[in-house]
């Protein structure tokens, strides 16, 4: 009982730090957008997206260095699926309606190419160093294109960039993001212990808490952005994270350790990832906004993914037992 009380206290303290750090990170990214004369969406897409991929990026790099790259690529693809369905679904519901300006926000084809490129390169059953170089190059080209194609008026402001203010603000943003990830780790860890203490079924505790844990930093940051009425920041962080994980993170992994993979194992998840990206961009492209109805549909897709994975795992277990 005492251990549960301690875990509960850790959960509450870590949750408080998580929420406060996310709030400060949102304010910091808004300030950076003004200093850089960029739109809030582009600043969040590039800077917040780049910083927020670091945990799964290092998981991927470490798994490649350890000679087990499938662990890393599984983490990256799984995180992208959660972001594209569960996280964006929740912020769409909370935001009620997230308007999307065609120019300066997202162009469907380049984003889908970025997300779908790893799957295309996997079709031969390998990810080589050449594939990795192509993915890294795609990341550089795509994010350069995003910066180049933001709305013109913001790029033409006469006031010059104040670099002396910019670097401290970027440093503060990195610190806040570090606090988000650190506190999220303790939130998930304590939640798992509490679940075990109340004899919550382990398979469901693991499945849902790990999924939420993977998405918690982006989710908390995005919710704070929605509450602060900076809806484009919420969307930009998640989409930037997905695009970078699909290109830069997987690319660096395959450069470090080229590997073969079975599409039977990873192919279904990769297809789900691409389909989720297609579904999302279809909503954004046709309606020029993200609505609650779209959010419910995306969360529904996440539930379908979970059910399919559980069914396949159960079927695999039955076959192995026979």
Residue extents of the structural domains in the chain: 2-312
186 neighbors 21 (Cβ within 8 angstroms)? no
Quick one: pLDDT at residue 220?
Answer: 76
139 neighbors 117 (Cβ within 8 angstroms)? no
Which range, of 43-57, 119-133, 207-221, averages the lowest pLDDT? 207-221
262 neighbors 74 (Cβ within 8 angstroms)? no
> Of 192 and 316, which is predicted with more confidence?
192
pLDDT over 60 (residue 179): yes
Mean pLDDT of 247-275: 83
Which range, 5-9, 152-156, 292-296, has the best average confidence (pLDDT)? Answer: 292-296
Quick one: pLDDT at residue 138?
Answer: 92
Confidence of residue 270 (pLDDT cuts 50, 70, 90): confident
Q: Which residue has the tokens 């890294």?
A: 136
Which range, of 9-13, 40-44, 90-94, 144-148, averages the lowest pLDDT? 40-44
> Of 296 and 231, which is predicted with more confidence?
296
Which range, of 109-113, 297-301, 305-309, 311-315, averages the lowest pLDDT? 311-315
User: Which of 153-161's residues contact partners 24+ apart within 8 Å by CB, and which partners?
Assistant: 154/37, 154/38, 154/39, 155/37, 155/38, 157/37, 159/37, 161/35, 161/36, 161/37
Alpha-carbon distance of 138 to 254, in angstroms, equals: 14
Express each pLDDT in 13-36 by its tens digit: 877 776 677 667 667 767 776 666
Which range, of 158-167, 212-221, 234-243, 260-269, averages the lowest pLDDT? 158-167
126 neighbors 257 (Cβ within 8 angstroms)? no
Pick from 154, 189, 181, 171: nearest CA to 33: 154
> Of 236 and 272, which is predicted with more confidence?
272
Q: Report CA Rg, the chain.
A: 20
Between the CA of residue 105 and those of 42, 43, 83, 175, what are the distances in Å? 7, 11, 17, 26
pLDDT over 70 (residue 201): no
- In whole numbers, what is the pLDDT of the chain averaged over residues? 75
CATH number of 2-312: 1.20.1420.30
308 neighbors 297 (Cβ within 8 angstroms)? no
pLDDT over 80 (residue 206): no
Quick one: pLDDT at residue 42?
Answer: 73
Residues whose CB falls within 8 Å of the CB of residue 185, separated by 6 or more in sequence, listed in order: 213
């Amino acid at each position: 009982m005492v251990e549960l009380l301690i875990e509960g206290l850790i959960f509450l303290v870590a949750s408080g730090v998580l929420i406060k750090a996310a709030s400060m990170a949102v304010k910091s990214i808004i300030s950076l957008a003004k200093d850089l004369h960029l739109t809030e969406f582009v600043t969040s897409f590039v800077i917040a997206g780049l910083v927020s991929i670091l945990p799964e990026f290092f998981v991927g790099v470490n798994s490649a260095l350890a000679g087990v790259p499938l662990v890393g690529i599984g983490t990256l693809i799984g995180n992208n699926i959660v972001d594209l369905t569960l996280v964006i679904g929740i912020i769409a519901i909370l935001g009620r309606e997230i308007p999307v300006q065609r120019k300066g926000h997202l162009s469907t084809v380049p984003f889908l190419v970025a997300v779908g490129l790893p799957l295309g390169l996997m079709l031969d059953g390998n990810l080589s160093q050449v594939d990795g170089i192509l993915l890294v190059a795609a990341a550089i080209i795509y994010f350069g294109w995003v910066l180049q194609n933001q709305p013109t008026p913001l790029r033409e402001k006469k006031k010059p960039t104040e670099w002396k203010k910019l670097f401290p603000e970027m440093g503060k943003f990195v610190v806040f993001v570090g606090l988000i990830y650190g506190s999220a780790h303790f939130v998930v860890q304590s939640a798992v212990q509490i679940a075990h203490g109340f004899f919550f079924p382990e398979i469901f505790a693991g499945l849902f808490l790990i999924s939420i844990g993977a998405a918690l930093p982006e989710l908390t940051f995005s919710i704070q952005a929605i509450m602060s009425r900076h809806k484009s920041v919420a969307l930009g962080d998640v989409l930037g994270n997905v695009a970078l994980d699909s290109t830069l993170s997987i690319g660096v992994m395959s450069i470090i350790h080229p590997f073969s993979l079975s599409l039977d194992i990873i192919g279904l998840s990769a297809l789900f990832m691409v389909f989720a990206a297609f579904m999302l961009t279809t909503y954004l492209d046709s309606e020029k906004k993200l609505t609650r109805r779209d959010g419910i549909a995306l969360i529904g897709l996440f539930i379908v993914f979970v059910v399919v994975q559980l069914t396949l795992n159960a079927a695999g277990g039955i076959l192995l037992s026979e």
